[in-house]
C-alpha cells in the first residue's frame, strides 16, 4: 500500500494514526509497569516523580512540573500522596514562601534500590535491544519537542 494512501483514502484508519500508536503504547507500558510498581506501592506518575527526585533531591513543585511536563494541579495531589506514604516531605521555602520544596525522606531514598529491578524488566518486555531502545526514545523525545513548539 502506497504510503500516501491514507491521505487519499476517504476514511483514515485508526492504525494510520501516529497519535493512536503513542496513546496505546502508553497504555501498554502502564500495564507492564503496574505489577512491578504495585510491589513498591507506587502508581506510574508517583514513580516518575520519585525518579526525578532521585536524580536531584530538594526541588520545587514548579521545577518538578517543568521536567515532568505536568501542571501543579496534577502534581500537588500526587506529591501529597507521596508525602502520605512517607517518601517525601513538602515545605514552603523560607526565602520565598510562594514556593514549596520537595525533599526525599530516608525511606524515599531507600526505595531507589528496590526500584532498580524495574528498568531491566521493561527493556526485556520491549523486545528491543539497548541501541534500538535508545534510538526510539530519542526520536520520540524529538517528536515531543516539535509538538510543544
Binding site for a copy of itself (CB under 8 A): 3-4, 7, 11-29, 31-33, 44, 48, 51-52, 54-55, 67-70, 112, 119, 122, 125-128, 130-131, 133-134, 136-144, 146-149
Phi/psi region, residue 5 (left: phi>0; alpha: psi -120 to 50; beta: rest), is: alpha
Give the whole-angstrom CA distance, residue 133 versus residue 124: 11
Is the distance from CB of 24 to CB of 17 less than 8 angstroms? no
Query: Residue 124 Cβ, how far from DNA at the closest point, in Å?
Result: 19
**50: buried, middle or exposed (CB in 10 Å: 19+, 13-18, 0-12)?**
buried
Report if residue 74 touches DNA, rule: CB under 7 A.
Answer: yes
Q: Which is nearer to a copy of itself, 12 or 91 (CB)?
A: 12
Binding site for DNA (CB under 7 A): 23, 27, 30-31, 34, 43-46, 60-63, 65, 69-79, 81, 90, 95-100
Amino acid at each position: 500500500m502506497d504510503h500516501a494512501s491514507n491521505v487519499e483514502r476517504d476514511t483514515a484508519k485508526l492504525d494510520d494514526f501516529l497519535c493512536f500508536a503513542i496513546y496505546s503504547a502508553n497504555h501498554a507500558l502502564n500495564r507492564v509497569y503496574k505489577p512491578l510498581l504495585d510491589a513498591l506501592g507506587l502508581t506510574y506518575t508517583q514513580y516518575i516523580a520519585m525518579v526525578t527526585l532521585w536524580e536531584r533531591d530538594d526541588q520545587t513543585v514548579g521545577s518538578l512540573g517543568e521536567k515532568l511536563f505536568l501542571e501543579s494541579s496534577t502534581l500537588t495531589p500526587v506529591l501529597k500522596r507521596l508525602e502520605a506514604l512517607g517518601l517525601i516531605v513538602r515545605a514552603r521555602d523560607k526565602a520565598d514562601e510562594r514556593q514549596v520544596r520537595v525533599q526525599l525522606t530516608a525511606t524515599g531514598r531507600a526505595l531507589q534500590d528496590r526500584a532498580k529491578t524495574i528498568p531491566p524488566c521493561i527493556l526485556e518486555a520491549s523486545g528491543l535491544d539497548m541501541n534500538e531502545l535508545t534510538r526510539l526514545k530519542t526520536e520520540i523525545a524529538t517528536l515531543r519537542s516539535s509538538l510543544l513548539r
